[in-house]
Amino acid sequence: MRDYYEDLWNRLPDDLSAPDFELRRTFLLERVRAGERALDLGCGSGDFTRELAAAGANAVGVEVAAAALERAAARHPELDFRIAPIVGPLPFEDCSFELVWASEVIEHVADTARWLSEVRRVLSPGGRLLLSTPSHGRLRVAVGGIERFSEPLGDHLHLYTRASLCELLEEFGFGAIRVRALGGPPGLRRLLLAEAVKSGSAAREVR
């Protein structure tokens, strides 16, 4: 799997335009607080890590592909970027961050249970998870067809609706969950934006 992402990042153009970047950026910047410790989980080329730092957060960007981190470091040499194992714990102590931002990441994760358990572990009590992922409501899937969103050789491993994402976050011990769909006409929204707070013990947790 790591080879797949290394090859992907080596093939992506340097001037890649991220989908719905402004929608995601606005959502993030309305919620980040100056001075808080923030993790950009799955930082890609580091543009959101830069946004977090510019907003006054103590930001760290993490990726599983060295090729992505090389690109991020070249674009933003002043920022802190680190490699993470594709399977295994994140390279941080418990309660290291007050904010975790994971944009267009969760749909690519093979072991969602372990991934969310790691997110909870590195969040401090009351810490916040912000994430974005493509929206796959019934009408959108019916109009586009399942093949459009889940190609046999693609890297989108999970499809989320507002309801399924809320249920998943609640199962893993997050509270104050809010998920909204943006981008496109009603019924055909293409983007889910979620916020949640690390609360008490999770119904499920993987160590």
- Which residues, in sequence order, are CB contacts of 31 under 8 Å at separation 6+? 99, 128, 130, 195
- What ranges make up the beta strands (E) of 118-190? 123-134, 174-182
Which one is predicted more confidently, 8 or 121? 121
Q: Sheet harboring 174-182: ordered strands across? A: 80-83, 58-63, 37-41, 97-103, 123-134, 191-198, 174-182
Segments in 41-152 forming alpha helices (H) = 47-54, 66-75, 112-122, 138-144, 146-149
Q: Are 38 and 99 in contact (CB under 8 A)?
A: yes
Side-chain-facing half-sphere of 145: CA atoms under 13 Å = 3
- pLDDT tens figures, 7-21: 777 887 777 778 899
Domain 2-198 has CATH 3.40.50.150: yes
Q: Is 114 helix (H, G, I), strand (E, B) or coil?
A: helix
What is the reported pLDDT for 142?
43
d(CA 61, CA 79): 8
What integer is the mean pLDDT of 107-118? 93
**Residue 145 in this model has a pLDDT that exceeds 80:** no
Q: Are 172 and 179 in contact (CB under 8 A)?
A: no
- pLDDT tens figures, 21-56: 999 999 999 999 999 999 999 999 999 999 999 999
* Band of residue 151 on the pLDDT scale cut at 50, 70, 90: low
What is the reported pLDDT for 118?
97
d(CA 86, CA 176): 29
Domain assignments of the chain as residue spans, ordered by start: 2-198
Q: Are 19 and 42 in contact (CB under 8 A)?
A: no
Q: Are 106 and 112 in contact (CB under 8 A)?
A: yes
123-134 and 174-182 beta bridge pairing: unpaired
- pLDDT tens figures, 66-98: 999 999 999 999 999 999 988 889 999 999 999
Q: What is the pTM of this model?
A: 0.87
- pLDDT tens figures, 91-102: 999 999 999 999
- Return the C-alpha torsion angle 46, 49, 51, 53, nearest 10: -130
**Residue 1 in this model has a pLDDT that exceeds 90:** no
